[in-house]
């Protein structure tokens, strides 16, 4: 799962990730936390360049 999540946050060129916001931390284990993440995207209306 780590690879898929990492690839999602890397994203594509259009739309691209403009910003993100992390809120609400809850500890669910000794070294694990759950939180909410909002991802804001920016669309330039330009075609992707291959």
Over its length of 50 residues, how does the chain's per-residue pLDDT go in tens digits?
Answer: 467 767 766 666 667 777 889 999 999 999 999 999 888 888 777 666 65
Q: Where do the domains of the chain lie?
A: 2-42
The pLDDT, as a whole number, for residue 34 is 93
The pLDDT, as a whole number, for residue 42 is 81
Q: Is 4 helix (H, G, I), strand (E, B) or coil?
A: helix
The pLDDT, as a whole number, for residue 31 is 92
Over the range 14-41, which residues count as b (16 or more CB within 10 Å of their CB) and which as e? eeeeeeeeeeeeeeeeeeeeeeeeeeee
The pLDDT, as a whole number, for residue 45 is 73
Please tell me the pTM assigned to this model: 0.50
The pLDDT, as a whole number, for residue 37 is 86
For 29, which DSSP code?
S
């Amino acid at each position: 799962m780590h690879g898929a999540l990492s690839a999602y946050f890397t994203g594509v060129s259009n739309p691209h990730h403009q910003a993100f916001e992390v809120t609400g931390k809850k500890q669910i284990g000794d070294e694990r936390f759950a939180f909410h993440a909002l991802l804001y995207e920016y669309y330039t209306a330009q075609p992707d360049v291959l």
